[in-house]
Amino acid sequence: WIEPAKRYCLQNFRPGGNTVDANFKNMKPCLEEYILEIQKAVAPFFEICQVR
């Protein structure tokens, strides 16, 4: 459902503040290496794939 998109952006989770579920407030963000791994895996499906 997202494959027709030309651009795909990944953004790490930032805990704190208002979240949809209170359980997310204390969740830790992903390691940068993991986000870059995801980027590498999905990049072939998009013209632009970036990490914010």
Question: Domain limits at 31?
Answer: 7-51
Specify if 22 maps to a domain: yes
Q: Are 29 and 16 within 8 A, CB to CB?
A: no
Q: How would you write 10-36 as a 3-class SS string? A: ECCCCCCCCCCCHHHHHCCCCCHHHHH
Specify if 44 maps to a domain: yes
Specify if 21 maps to a domain: yes
Question: Span 6-35, mean pLDDT?
Answer: 90
Specify if 20 maps to a domain: yes
Specify if 1 maps to a domain: no
- What's the pTM? 0.77
pLDDT of the residue at 16: 78
Chain mean pLDDT for the chain: 90
